Amino acid sequence: MVRPWLERLGAPSLEGLNALAQRAGVRTQSGHPLRFVAPSVADAYYEIRVFQTGCVATRPDNRHDLFNALAWLAFPKTKALINALHAEEIPRENGRRGRKRDLLTLLDEGGAIVQCDDPELIASLRAARWKELFWERRARVQRSMRFCVLGHAVLEQAIKPWPGITCKALFVPRDADPDRAACAWLAELAPDATPAALAALPVFGYPGWLPDNERAPFYDDTRYFRLLREKRDTVVPAPPARPRGGAL
């Protein structure tokens, strides 16, 4: 869903991103038109600034920031609700990020929307039965399961794909609009929601995503296809820390 926006954008620039956002009518949940702006002095709370002003600090020559902007264009409802939920939670936290915001951050950075109506495929994914899912039921996965990557860190990593890139996934019906359905899923989150609500998803296992996964032994490598008990809340190797004046 991001690719068409990248093609419309052409050469990355704040002007180009803002023109696309304006034409699409992208807004925050607080009603502000979304604007991509050059970073200034670091803000104490990036998400609060976005919610209160609609300004998303963006370095157009930075891939991480660029994919964040493209995710706003491709998933405007979901991104707006993620931002609003962050802004709602921050005042309650006394300076320490809670587990619900951990979930939101994982989704924002590494989230994927899995469109599927096949309960057996969903059960295989949730149970981390990777070879069963991606090899033994390969054709069925291609017919019945679609992955829409929302997380901008994963989108950035996918420029040069490698085994190990993992998303945190939520599930929606196969024929649903991914953005609307993911937004509805978020709207139903309990106040005490944690990252456990999201399923780990090694997207590199999807048939054809990497040339190496055309062979059955690829799925036997437990360095990447871990058993369920070995999973953590990690998405991808984290980019170097930087001030919150940047787009994430």
96-122: per-residue pLDDT in tens? 888 999 999 999 999 999 999 999 999
3-state secondary structure at position 171: strand
Go through the chain and tell me how many residues it has: 248
Residue given tokens 């998400």 in the structure block? 47
Structure tokens at 178: 């991914």
What gap in Å lies between CA 20 and CA 208, rounded to an integer? 31
- At residue 42, the pLDDT reads 63
Does residue 246 carry a pLDDT above 80?
Answer: no
The DSSP letter of residue 196 is G
201-231: per-residue pLDDT in tens? 999 999 989 888 999 999 999 988 987 764 4
**Alpha carbon distances (Å) from 189 to 67, 92, 110, 186, 193:** 25, 17, 18, 5, 6
What gap in Å lies between CA 13 and CA 36, rounded to an integer? 9
- At residue 1, the pLDDT reads 87
pTM for the model stands at 0.88
Structure tokens at 170: 């939520």
What gap in Å lies between CA 147 and CA 2, rounded to an integer? 12
**CB 74 within 8 Å of CB 2:** yes
Does residue 82 carry a pLDDT above 50?
Answer: yes
What share of the chain in percent tops pLDDT 90? 76
- At residue 44, the pLDDT reads 63
Does residue 200 carry a pLDDT above 80?
Answer: yes
Does residue 248 carry a pLDDT above 50?
Answer: no
